Structure 1
């Protein structure tokens, strides 16, 4: 089944070119199906790009989903047209009485700030708390993963000497978890971050389970509340050229920019990226939707607790 998306969302035309079946609201209302309600809190600067990346992965399921986009009232994006935000996004306070089957909270370019010094910290703490009683399962990505672990469990973050930048091998620590159904023992995950969380801190909290990690990029996936929360420190949603765009953007602007590791063919930036994470990205999002959202959410969405 297709995704139900807001009419005229830019991602629709791009994904149709990739032969991904999406459906705008005008057509979807003719189908008598209770779609899964998925809300995306998009904190990334290039919101249209992130929308497209996430919708591409969510489309790989036979279930119909109704996608909504949430924004912060306490923050005005600088890199996305205000018309786009007004047309497709709603403030958290306008959505706070609603319930959702699944939620995704993206990364944000604020990881070098202390959490309490982030301008929208108070509002995002309210959203993290709200999600626990209004959403069946939530995926937190990159900065959002670190921030939510700090908010809920007091897990600190640590600055890295050098940016974790590239594609890194991850090891599944419990292959029997449904989130890893169909996974190999090792999978690849893009990372682009300046901070990290430590395994020792995770292991001190009984409510948290480390489920994937890397010898090079460290903690990569943490699970809590029997799968009602997943914390992912990398970016499986990234398109093939995302790290390349970031690398070329920063070259010449900063003097600490290294080539992304394990990314270009023959580690040569004059050659295209070698995509090694796409299959597992599709599997992870499909498994999340199937086993932790669809099979766990009540038919009467108002009964989510």
Structure 2
């Protein structure tokens, strides 16, 4: 299958390109404002600006599937305006879908967000509209699609135990699980002619809401029976676990076979195998 990946130089785009090239099953066409670092010159690349759409129809020629990734995210809310968010997240999605339609591409994987649920914030609002554009193209033009909604997987700049590990208790997911979700979505639309699906790219639910009873009074004591050794880690690294954990949404797993495997327990196993200085100085690989 010939796959067009927009936003290929971004965080997820780089990881997805590596995964798909490693599979050796697909031909890739990449696009972004700049080429991904270290891109093999045998991979077709189109330098273009999605906000105006020029060049997208050429990039999409002879492709079978669109994977649309680029967006300003919640972390950009302080530096990007509503106009910025609209031009990339909404206009960019519209132009990408129009280019797909012009080239007869009837399959799409769209990177949405769990911020879809906070749809009166400027990021979540644009993701709502992005998914509405998919639904419109499904109804009017027969587009088969999966909208992938990841939790937060932004790189950490410091303090891996807090910035990565604690995040897995509420609004976070491991980047590799997100990549697994996108690959599962690609397989699903490849096999399904009339997909109209949301896939929650979230962490596995390894605890229930009932197990979290009493969290406000004793977070570490509540966590310990779920993840033995957690109380020691909380004390050793002074982890702020005051925020009550959440049970992650899990739509689309049965349909796609998406099975995330990284969670606070797997993080804890790795954490306790490291020396404290090693853990605190761990750098983000992406």
Is the TM-score greater than 0.5? no
TM-score when normalising by structure 1: 0.39
Larger radius of gyration: 2
TM-score when normalising by structure 2: 0.41
Bigger proportion of residues as strand = 1
Bigger proportion of residues as helix = 2
